[in-house]
A and B are shown apart, each in its own frame.
Chain A
Amino acid sequence: QQQVKQSPQSLIVQKGGISIINCAYENTAFDYFPWYQQFPGKGPALLIAIRPDVSEKKEGRFTISFNKSAKQFSLHIMDSQPGDSATYFCAASRGGSQGNLIFGKGTKLSVKP
């Protein structure tokens, strides 16, 4: 049973465009929803995270939109750049940022110049 479902599996966006990655979760006890960015040969790095009492959080070009009733959240990357080309993972946990993260399967983003 996959508790966090992520789509699409891969995404190609032109430079300057908007990249959108979606995730859906099942467990209503989850209380922490981070997005991680991973480059080849590197470990995941935290991009941005949100808690369920907030519907949107923005940090620079990255925005999380959160829909508690639909049990969905998404990552928007504005003005996408070739340097954003990486694999993105959504995740969810109980117990906040200290909880055990359950990851989606990842989205490979390619930003074309």
Chain B
Amino acid sequence: ETGVTQSPTHLIKTRGQQVTLRCSSQSGHNTVSWYQQALGQGPQFIFQYYREEENGRGNFPPRFSGLQFPNYSSELNVNALELDDSALYLCASSLKEQGNSPLHFGNGTRLTVT
């Protein structure tokens, strides 16, 4: 069973640039959620994708967008990067149809915006 994998592990971008982060869900999982974890804080929900459609969104501006592909992998795109976007971005997968299926997190992408 392959766990959740994210790439890249680290990334440095300049304010105003755009970034794409990638996530491969755990084998057998069809739902992907993205979270932002600022330093010293708990993760904050960005959005969730199920069957290639956005299935819930947290309090994040539209410059945070995502995609889910037919193989259930996912991308998180952030436009017009701001310094406050510096954080650990976590992807989590689960199986929607299994009621007790918990979220399985990847190890995240550490994004630094300078």
In the complex, the answer to whether A44 meets B43 with C-beta atoms within 8 Å is yes
Bound Cα distance from A57 to B31, whole angstroms: 27
Given known pairs A98-B94, A103-B43, the reply for A43 and B106 (CB within 8 Å) is yes
Interface of B is mostly: loop
Binds A, one of B12-20, B66-74, B97-105: B97-105
Cβ distance A39 to chain B, nearest Cβ, rounded Å: 10
In the complex, the answer to whether B42 meets A42 with C-beta atoms within 8 Å is no
Bound Cα distance from A50 to B18, whole angstroms: 39
- Report the interface size for chain A: residues with CB under 8 A from the other chain: 23
Contact of B99 among A4, A97, A104 (CB under 8 A): A97
In the complex formed, the residue of A with least CB distance to B107 is A43
Chain A contact residues, CB within 8 Å of chain B: 4, 6, 34, 36, 41-46, 49, 89, 91, 96-98, 100-106
